[in-house]
Amino acid sequence: MDSKSYQDHFFKKAKIEGYKSRSAYKLIELNEKFHFLKNGIKLLDVGSFPGGWCQVARKKIKKGMILGIDIKKIDSIEGVKFIEADFLEHNTKKIVLDYFKSNIDVILSDMAPNTTGNKSLDCIRTNELCLDILDFSKKTLNKNGTLVSKLFMGEDFEKIKTKAKQYFKKIDFFKPSSSRGESRETYIHCSRLCNNI
Alpha carbon distance 197, 194 (integer Å): 6
Confidence at residue 184, expressed as pLDDT on a 0 to 100 scale: 81
Residues serving a catalytic function are 150
Give the domain 23-193 fold.
Rossmann fold (3.40.50)
Check pLDDT > 60 for residue 1. Answer: no
Q: Please name the helix (run of DSSP H) or strand (run of DSSP E) that holds residue 191, with its range, or none.
A: strand 185-193
High-pLDDT (> 70) share of the chain, %: 87
Distance of CA 96 to the CA centre of its chain: 15
Check pLDDT > 70 for residue 37. Answer: yes
Alpha carbon distance 55, 190 (integer Å): 22
High-pLDDT (> 90) share of the chain, %: 70
Give 18's pLDDT tier (boundaries 50, 70, 90): low
Number of Cβ within a 10 Å radius of residue 86: 10
Q: In three state form, how does the secondary structure of 158-170 look?
A: HHHHHHHHHHEEE
Mean pLDDT estimate for the chain: 89
Q: Where are the domains of the chain?
A: 23-193
Confidence at residue 2, expressed as pLDDT on a 0 to 100 scale: 43
For the segment 150-175, what is each residue's pLDDT rounded down to a tens digit? 998 877 899 999 999 999 999 999 99
